[in-house]
Amino acid sequence: MLNRFTPYEEEFERWRREGYPGVKPETYRYIDFLTAPDNDLAPREGTLWRHQWEAFLRVVYAHEILGKEVIGRNGLLVNLVTGGGKTALMAAIIAWLRYAHEVHKFVILCPNLIVRDRLQADFEGGKVFRDRDLIPQDADFQAGDLVLTTLGGGNTGGWANLFSSNIVLGNIHQFYTSNTVGQSNLSALMNGPDCVLFNDEAHNSPAPEWDSTLARLKPKTRLRIDLTATPERADGQTPDSDLIYEYTVQDALADGLIKTPVVYQPSIHTVELTYTDARTGERRRVEEINWEEVDRLGLSATQWVTDDESMRQQMAIALRRLEEQERRAKGRYQPILFVVAVCIADAEKAAHTLNHYFKVKTLLVTEQSDEEDRRKARELGKAQHSRQPYKAVVSVLMLREGWDVPEVGVILLLRKFSSKVYGQQVIGRGLRRVRGKNIDPSEPQICAIVDHPKLEHQWLWDMFNAKKRENVSIDDLFDETEDLPPPLPKQELTKPHLVIRVPDPDPNFSDDGEFVVQVSETQVQPLKHWKAALQAIQYELEGVEITRVDIEEVIGKELSENRWESHTAPPTLLREKGETYRTLFQLDDDTLRDAIKQRLLEIAEELLDKAGYAPIEYKGRVYKALIEHIREKFLDGETLGAATREQLELVWRILPQVKKKVQSVPGLVEGIAEYGDE
Reported as a single tens digit per residue, the pLDDT across 108-126 is: 988 777 778 788 888 999 9
The predicted model gives 147-173 an average pLDDT of 77
Half-sphere exposure of 606 (CA within 13 A, CB side): 24
pLDDT band at 521 (very low <50, low <70, confident <90, very high): very low
pLDDT at position 639:
87
Q: How confident is the model at residue 462 (pLDDT cuts 50, 70, 90)?
A: confident
Confidence tier at 583 by pLDDT (50, 70, 90): very low
> What pLDDT, on a 0 to 100 scale, did the predictor assign at position 441?
80
The pLDDT of residue 157 is 55
pLDDT reported for residue 410: 94
Lowest mean pLDDT: which of 185-199, 301-315, 654-668? 301-315
**Mean pLDDT score, 54-74:** 95
Residue 525 has pLDDT above 90, yes or no: no
Residue range 6-247, CATH number = 3.40.50.300
Q: Which of 149-158, 384-393, 535-544, 606-615 has the lowest mean pLDDT?
A: 149-158
CA distance 513 to 200: 41
Domain 260-483: CATH class, spelled out = alpha beta
Band of residue 545 on the pLDDT scale cut at 50, 70, 90: very low
Look at phi and psi of residue 499 and say left if phi exceeds 0, alpha if psi is from -120 to 50, else beta.
beta
| DSSP-derived 3-state class of residue 39 | strand
Return the pLDDT at 560: 36
Task: State the pLDDT at residue 487.
Answer: 56
Q: Which region among 240-254, 487-501, 582-596 has the lowest average model confidence (pLDDT)?
A: 487-501
Give the C-alpha separation, 411 to 396, whole Å.
Answer: 13
Predicted local confidence at residue 555, as pLDDT: 38
Domains 6-247 and 260-483 belong to one CATH topology: yes
Cα separation of 363 and 478, whole Å?
27
| Residue boundaries of the structural domains of the chain | 6-247, 260-483, 530-545+575-675
Phi, psi of 514 (to 5 degrees): -70, -35
Provide the pLDDT confidence category of residue 522 given band limits of 50, 70 and 90: very low
Q: Tell which wins on pLDDT, 621 or 157.
A: 621
User: Using CA atoms, how far apart are residues 296 and 302, in angstroms rounded to an integer?
Assistant: 11
Residue 511 has pLDDT above 60, yes or no: no
Asked which of 96-100, 369-373, 443-447, 671-675 is least confident by mean pLDDT, the reply is 369-373
| pLDDT at 503 exceeding the cut of 60 | no
CA 29 from centre of chain: 38
pLDDT at 551: 35
* Percent of the chain residues past pLDDT 70, beyond the cut: 77
Longest Cα–Cα distance of the chain, Å, equals: 94
Q: Which residues contact 524 (CB under 8 A, 6 or more apart)?
A: 208, 611, 666, 667, 670
Higher pLDDT, 334 or 489: 334
623/602 Cα distance (integer angstroms): 9
Residue type at position 659:
K
From 17-21, 27-31, 409-413, 482-486, the region with the lowest mean pLDDT: 482-486
E-state strands within 407-552: 408-413, 446-450, 467-472
Beta bridge partners of residue 221, listed in sequence order: 195
Which pLDDT does position 567 carry in this prediction? 39
**pLDDT tops 80 at residue 234:** no
Q: Provide the mean pLDDT of the chain.
A: 80
pLDDT band at 207 (very low <50, low <70, confident <90, very high): low
pLDDT for position 483 = 59
Confidence of residue 372 (pLDDT cuts 50, 70, 90): confident
Q: Looking at residues 5-23, what average pLDDT do you find?
A: 94
pLDDT on residue 517: 36
Q: Is the pTM of this model over 0.85?
A: no
Stretch 389-417: mean pLDDT: 79
Query: Among 79, 87, 31, which Cα is nearest to 55's?
Result: 79
Query: Is it the case that residue 610 has pLDDT exceeding 60?
Result: yes
pLDDT value, residue 548: 34
Could you give phi then psi for residue 247, rounded to 5 degrees? -130, 100
Cα–Cα distance list, 9 to 23, 286, 450 (Å):
17, 47, 41
- On the CB side of 475, CA atoms within 13 Å amount to 0
Q: Range with the lowest mean pLDDT among 127-131, 191-195, 498-502?
A: 498-502
Residue 584 has pLDDT above 60, yes or no: no
Nearest by Cα to 80 from 59, 94, 64: 59
Identify which of 147-151, 203-207, 418-422, 483-487 has the greatest average pLDDT: 147-151
The pLDDT tens digits of the residues spanning 653-673 come to: 889 889 989 988 998 998 898
The mean pLDDT of 566-577, rounded to a whole number, is: 36
CA–CA distance, 92 with 132 (Å, rounded to integer): 9
pLDDT at site 586: 55
